[in-house]
Structure 1
Amino acid sequence: MRHIWLGLLGVLAVSACSGTGERPPQPLEATVRTVGQGELVGFQHSPGAWAWLGVPFAAAPEGDLRWRAPRPAPAFNGRFEALEHPEPCPQFTSALQASSGVEPGQLVGSEDCLRLDIYAPEGASSDNANRPVMVWIHGGANVWGFAGQYDGAQLAKDQDVVVVAVQYRLGGLGFFASDTLRADATDPRDAAANFALLDQIAALEWVRGNIGAFGGDAGNVTIFGESAGGHNVAGLLASPLASGLFHRAIIQSGSFDSVSWEAASGAEPGQSNTSDEVALRIAGDGYTAEALRAADLETVFNAYRGDDGAPFLNLPRMIEDGVTIPRDGLANAFASPDTFNAVPVITGTNRDEMKLFNAFRGDLVNRYLGVILVSRNRQFYDTIAEYQSRTWRILAVDQAASRIQAGGHGDVWAYRFDWDEQGRALFVMDLSHLLGAAHAMEIPFVFNHFDFFGRLDGAMFNSNNASGREALAAAMGAYWAEFARTGEPGTGGPTNLPRWERWNENGLLMRFDSPQANGQELITGTDSFEQLEADLAADTRLDDAQRCTVVEAIAAWRPRGSLDAMRQRMGCE
């Protein structure tokens, strides 16, 4: 699954909205808090919700601190005004940011980015620090994204929780398996490769030490994330360095794969843009750790560009470094509660995950006037997405949940998100068909905040589907918060929703949809690659050429040997 996002990050472009409107927020004296670095002040985000934005949780990882474990944040110089989202970590802008006037492929961000945003119900303080804390880890293939994409105020207010959105190093600054840098380690954690995970661990350490001031219970922390954020949640579950820092985990459309240190560094073949290749591009033959850290930011990121200037987004991530991730692999860590942080876990996927990506494939979709998208073959468009999305589910739900339970850890719940009531845009663009329950579509429902997909929001989240999606958002928020509160989603607390039972050997998932489509209901059944292949071989909707196109569409998820065998069985060689 590790390369499914490549070249398509633009479809994850979402709006950054603080909820404060055009006027800059004003400091609110009632939000003054004292943390380890000193005093800070937030603002009234919206009626019933307070926010503190851009709070540093570690020192800027720049200069000699680049490619090292994060160090403690320095003390504030006077009162810190936590009124604006932090500048993103360095990254290439994505394709659909062009709709906001931003050219894709541009380098933006600052290395002084290890900051977080906090949202809490109005009145939350150390005097009532008993609320569950929900720490959000953003997605974006671990090469793109930022805290300001996500507004946690409504979730905090609706569910009486404290929401924290964290930033972390991305791309080559976040994932770099260099023997040269490892030899220069001055702290045992410096010998890691997943600096992004170290940043998230540092954020959780900051939360443990300071969240009580914002009304949160440091002894009841839930980590949750989507896509690459879900992958990172899995990484934190497997990381011995994160032990005790969180107490529940939610993986939304995540992944459980990893790559060896040897492959990521370049000592073994098979990976693109290994650390050895990139280090040579940055500092030349005979490069040193000092030279790599002294290189300016543009030089580092230009090492991930092709001759045409286009960014390379395929680089090793979630590396088996033996520091943050065990050397025998991420997935293997879940075989026993003794080898991962065995807290209650929810894992799930969206029914139509891959439609978000397929909607921008020229071989599947025609584009008119630059903005109108129409599938070339409606039935094939649905069918290829079905097999791709089933593949995602098999890896992220069926295999993962079964592996965890088979190892002796029973506290696992699973879901499938099915909402597809977007309707049409511009009269001819059928968003229910093109996107449906696509990748990332569940995020606005979890946050109950529908200012998310930029220019598509008004079309997708409209008056025709308002009552149904509002009911679905209330249900998902209730389940997520009850899980954070008690370690079981149950009936969503006092809302008395259908009881969400644990995953079992027969497969048991909560299906999420609007009341018009049966609402929340438990469904049974498991999926597997054997079943998928049997269904694909017998699928009368496909001709031989289309069947082979489907095989290639799931190629990135399959080990080489099993893929070659599948090609042969399908007559696709």
Structure 2
Amino acid sequence: MRGVTGLLAGLVLAACAQDVDGPTAEPATRIVLDGQGATTGYVADTGAHVWLGLPYAAPPVGDLRWRATRPASGWDGERDATRHASRCPQITNVLDEPEGLEPGLLAGEEDCLYLDIYAPPGADELPVMVWIHGGSNVWGRSSEYDGSQLAIDQNVIIVAVQYRLGPLGFMSAPELRADAERPEDRAANFAILDLIESLRWVQAHAEDFGGDAGRVTIFGESAGGHNVAALLTSPLAEGLFHRAIIQSGSAATVTRAEAEGRSGDLANASGEVLGRVVEGPVTAEALRAVSLEDVFAGLDLSGGSHYDMPRMIEDGVTVPEGGIRAALASPGTFNAVPVITGTNRDEMRLFNALNPDLASRTLGLFIRPRDRDYYAALSDYQSAMWTVGAVDDLASVMTAGGHDDVWAYRFDWDEGAANLLVDTRFMLGAAHAMEIPFVFNRFELFGRLDPFLFNDRNAEGRVALARQMGRHWADFARDGDPGGGWERWRDGGARMRFDTPADDGPELVTGRTVVADLADALASDARVDNAERCRIARAMGDRFFGDGASVAERLDCPDA
């Protein structure tokens, strides 16, 4: 797989997906999808049987742009399933450079609702794990992830799915709702509708590729984890999956923000920019007629891969009004399946390493902090806040409401190279997305940094940790319990800390991350001065769990 995130200016990713040009399909890879047709894939070098680019939905083009996802049609003859489908429309970034694509280009096709399947040979009624990729819901594709090793190691089936991104996946405009042909067309989170349709497809065809439709697990990282949380609360997804894993996700949502008959904020997935390029009256037909180039033309690309990051909208169709967090407070208001939620210890070190104000780069590869103490302190508190929102608060909300089947984890592996040239242990540590190679047991993430991160010196420990994590994920998919002594979340906090024996892991640890405690720790942190302390407090966000105040307000920081 290729990681969903990486370092700028030269940290290009190696091509990690399976090369599908070489293998010749074998008879064992032929399957017949009931109601669609026959298709032939290939056998990967791991021994897994692979089918790529299978359509799970009708192309969302023309009059189907910004409508609820429609089922896929069938085909005549034999479908070649040895190549990935085109990515969904997105703006390229440095992670696309290995394919010869410069950052800032519009790439992809609207006809992109396809999925890939990786299965052990002879699969029969095996658990199905549906992977939802990350990328801030504006970038990414299924070809970044090769599930063949996980499928072989753990005897499960992996399905990697694509979904609409950016303004095509999240759009709130009254003209579109007024033109709804069915209730689902009134949604704003079209990406979630895509994922729901993919799960309907899995339910319909699991038996065809050796899966058990009664044991479907959804799992995703970053924006993919956020989408998993949305699916947990979506009434349209009821009964379509049976376990859920949120890796470094979020429960954040926003209400519709529309003013003067138009959406007022493109970052809130609006139609305002589109209205500017429509000649004449702004209607649903006129919006759907806007060229793909013009859909993206008004976006602010200064944020690179995080341009105008779309927000999950409480549209009352895919996500309940009141939001994800409120819905998770009662088993009666969400799809109360067993849940694992977790984060990486140093989530924000990845993003801070990308920030030229915080880190310098030599030859695009050797990264050093501009201020070591400030870099560490900022990353520590920001990462802890991520843990509060994605794990401690989320798990506590669910269990307090009576949903006991919740498990939590923290990923701590940080055994990459540390030398005079590059100190990955400090600059990245257990950074955002670092757990993905361990879950998939495929150690390709940061291209030219891979030899520094994953080398012979740490091979024994990391491979053993990868197999243990994969076993937990697969046992959870099989039985709804990750097993191996991993206890459920409880009031005092209980999470599995994933690390190698060299760093005293894996182990079950207790204790909760509380914002008030973080604020108190920051107030006396000797690594930073008062001005830096307030910059960190403001970077921690504006929500203080407990009394509604922000950390900056608690520390009496002046307004920015």
Q: The TM-score by the shorter chain falls in which range?
A: over 0.9
Partner secondary structure for residue 335 of structure 1: coil
The answer to whether the Cα contact below 8 Å between 2:94 and 2:103 also exists between their aligned partners in 1 is yes
Q: Measured at CA, do residues 545 and 11 of structure 1 come closer, stay the same or move farther in structure 2, by a change above 3 Å?
A: farther
Partner secondary structure for residue 413 of structure 1: strand
| Structural mapping, 1:101-112, within 5 Å | 101-112=100-111
Partner secondary structure for residue 112 of structure 1: coil
Partner secondary structure for residue 458 of structure 1: helix
Q: Measured at CA, do residues 41 and 6 of structure 1 come closer, stay the same or move farther in structure 2, by a change above 3 Å?
A: closer
Alignment partner, residue 387 of structure 1: 381
CA distance in 2 between counterparts of 1:452 and 1:264 reads 43
Q: Measured at CA, do residues 153 and 10 of structure 1 come closer, stay the same or move farther in structure 2, by a change above 3 Å?
A: farther
CA-to-aligned-CA distance 1:541-572 (integer Å, 9 cap, x gap): 2211210121122236669x956673463433
CA-to-aligned-CA distance 1:248-272 (integer Å, 9 cap, x gap): 0000000001011235998686764
CA-to-aligned-CA distance 1:409-434 (integer Å, 9 cap, x gap): 00000000000001147x41111111
Alignment partner, residue 358 of structure 2: 364
**Residue identity opposite 1:383 in structure 2:** A
The answer to whether the Cα contact below 8 Å between 1:230 and 1:252 also exists between their aligned partners in 2 is yes
Q: Measured at CA, do residues 123 and 67 of structure 1 come closer, stay the same or move farther in structure 2, by a change above 3 Å?
A: same
The answer to whether the Cα contact below 8 Å between 2:224 and 2:249 also exists between their aligned partners in 1 is yes
Q: Measured at CA, do residues 294 and 8 of structure 1 come closer, stay the same or move farther in structure 2, by a change above 3 Å?
A: farther
RMSD: 2.5
The range that moved more, 457-466 or 195-204, is: 457-466
Deviation at 1:235, TM superposition (A): 0.3
Deviation at 1:284, TM superposition (A): 4.8
CA distance in 1 between counterparts of 2:516 and 2:480 reads 33
The range that moved more, 141-150 or 359-368, is: 359-368
CA distance in 2 between counterparts of 1:120 and 1:271 reads 40
Partner secondary structure for residue 359 of structure 1: helix
Partner secondary structure for residue 40 of structure 1: strand
Alignment partner, residue 526 of structure 2: 540
CA-to-aligned-CA distance 1:482-519 (integer Å, 9 cap, x gap): 0110000111xxxxxxx000000000010000121122
CA distance in 2 between counterparts of 1:508 and 1:266 reads 48
Partner secondary structure for residue 325 of structure 1: coil
Alignment partner, residue 26 of structure 2: 28
Partner secondary structure for residue 88 of structure 2: coil
CA-to-aligned-CA distance 1:342-396 (integer Å, 9 cap, x gap): 0000000000000010001122111223332111222222211110000000000
| Structural mapping, 1:370-381, within 5 Å | 370-381=364-375
| Structural mapping, 1:15-54, within 5 Å | 15-20=14-19, 23-35=21-33, 36-54=35-53
Q: Measured at CA, do residues 6 and 183 of structure 1 come closer, stay the same or move farther in structure 2, by a change above 3 Å?
A: farther
CA distance in 2 between counterparts of 1:419 and 1:266 reads 50
The answer to whether the Cα contact below 8 Å between 2:6 and 2:446 also exists between their aligned partners in 1 is no
Q: Measured at CA, do residues 399 and 312 of structure 1 come closer, stay the same or move farther in structure 2, by a change above 3 Å?
A: closer
CA distance in 2 between counterparts of 1:184 and 1:20 reads 43
**Residue identity opposite 1:72 in structure 2:** P
Deviation at 1:333, TM superposition (A): 0.4
2:173 is aligned with 1:178: yes
The answer to whether the Cα contact below 8 Å between 1:265 and 1:274 also exists between their aligned partners in 2 is no
CA distance in 2 between counterparts of 1:19 and 1:439 reads 24
**Residue identity opposite 1:31 in structure 2:** T
Alignment partner, residue 69 of structure 2: 70
| Structural mapping, 1:524-563, within 5 Å | 524-555=510-541, 562=548
User: Which of 119, 136, 145 does residue 140 from structure 2 map onto?
Assistant: 145
Deviation at 1:131, TM superposition (A): 0.8
**Residue identity opposite 1:412 in structure 2:** V
Deviation at 1:97, TM superposition (A): 2.8
**TM score, norm. by length of structure 1:** 0.92
Deviation at 1:278, TM superposition (A): 2.0
CA-to-aligned-CA distance 1:300-353 (integer Å, 9 cap, x gap): 1112246x8978722442111111000111110001000000000000000000
Q: Measured at CA, do residues 357 and 553 of structure 1 come closer, stay the same or move farther in structure 2, by a change above 3 Å?
A: same
User: Which of 218, 222, 231 does residue 227 from structure 1 map onto?
Assistant: 222
Q: Measured at CA, do residues 392 and 557 of structure 1 come closer, stay the same or move farther in structure 2, by a change above 3 Å?
A: farther
Alignment partner, residue 451 of structure 1: 444
Q: Measured at CA, do residues 203 and 265 of structure 1 come closer, stay the same or move farther in structure 2, by a change above 3 Å?
A: farther
CA distance in 2 between counterparts of 1:281 and 1:305 reads 15
Q: Measured at CA, do residues 284 and 9 of structure 1 come closer, stay the same or move farther in structure 2, by a change above 3 Å?
A: farther
**Residue identity opposite 1:447 in structure 2:** F
2:508 is aligned with 1:514: no
User: Which of 413, 418, 424 does residue 419 from structure 1 map onto?
Assistant: 413
User: Which of 440, 451, 466 does residue 473 from structure 1 map onto?
Assistant: 466
Q: Measured at CA, do residues 8 and 100 of structure 1 come closer, stay the same or move farther in structure 2, by a change above 3 Å?
A: same
CA distance in 2 between counterparts of 1:274 and 1:206 reads 27
2:144 is aligned with 1:158: no
Alignment partner, residue 320 of structure 1: 314
Deviation at 1:69, TM superposition (A): 1.0
**Residue identity opposite 2:503 in structure 1:** A
Partner secondary structure for residue 455 of structure 2: coil
User: Which of 502, 511, 516 does residue 488 from structure 2 map onto?
Assistant: 502
CA distance in 2 between counterparts of 1:264 and 1:513 reads 49
Alignment partner, residue 241 of structure 1: 236
CA distance in 2 between counterparts of 1:266 and 1:312 reads 27
Q: Measured at CA, do residues 229 and 46 of structure 1 come closer, stay the same or move farther in structure 2, by a change above 3 Å?
A: same
| Structural mapping, 1:109-148, within 5 Å | 109-124=108-123, 128=124, 130-148=125-143
Partner secondary structure for residue 465 of structure 1: helix
**Residue identity opposite 2:101 in structure 1:** V
The answer to whether the Cα contact below 8 Å between 2:360 and 2:369 also exists between their aligned partners in 1 is yes
Q: Measured at CA, do residues 131 and 564 of structure 1 come closer, stay the same or move farther in structure 2, by a change above 3 Å?
A: closer
**Residue identity opposite 2:414 in structure 1:** D
Alignment partner, residue 436 of structure 1: 429
User: Which of 403, 417, 422 does residue 397 from structure 2 map onto?
Assistant: 403
The answer to whether the Cα contact below 8 Å between 2:47 and 2:121 also exists between their aligned partners in 1 is yes
The range that moved more, 131-140 or 294-303, is: 294-303
Deviation at 1:144, TM superposition (A): 0.4
Uncovered stretches (5+) of structure 1, i.e. residues with no partner: 492-498
**TM score, norm. by length of structure 2:** 0.94
The answer to whether the Cα contact below 8 Å between 2:7 and 2:446 also exists between their aligned partners in 1 is no
Partner secondary structure for residue 69 of structure 1: coil
CA distance in 2 between counterparts of 1:10 and 1:562 reads 40
Q: Measured at CA, do residues 180 and 8 of structure 1 come closer, stay the same or move farther in structure 2, by a change above 3 Å?
A: farther
The answer to whether the Cα contact below 8 Å between 2:41 and 2:80 also exists between their aligned partners in 1 is yes
Partner secondary structure for residue 328 of structure 2: helix
Alignment partner, residue 203 of structure 1: 198
**Residue identity opposite 2:113 in structure 1:** L
Partner secondary structure for residue 146 of structure 2: coil
The range that moved more, 458-467 or 203-212, is: 458-467
CA distance in 1 between counterparts of 2:440 and 2:200 reads 24
CA distance in 2 between counterparts of 1:470 and 1:118 reads 24
The answer to whether the Cα contact below 8 Å between 1:448 and 1:470 also exists between their aligned partners in 2 is yes
Deviation at 1:44, TM superposition (A): 0.6
Deviation at 1:467, TM superposition (A): 0.6
Deviation at 1:146, TM superposition (A): 0.3
Q: Measured at CA, do residues 271 and 301 of structure 1 come closer, stay the same or move farther in structure 2, by a change above 3 Å?
A: closer
2:270 is aligned with 1:275: yes
Alignment partner, residue 489 of structure 1: 482
The range that moved more, 369-378 or 499-508, is: 369-378
**Residue identity opposite 1:444 in structure 2:** P
Q: Measured at CA, do residues 99 and 54 of structure 1 come closer, stay the same or move farther in structure 2, by a change above 3 Å?
A: closer
**Residue identity opposite 2:528 in structure 1:** L
The range that moved more, 64-73 or 449-458, is: 449-458
CA distance in 1 between counterparts of 2:102 and 2:18 reads 25
Tell me the matched-pair count.
554
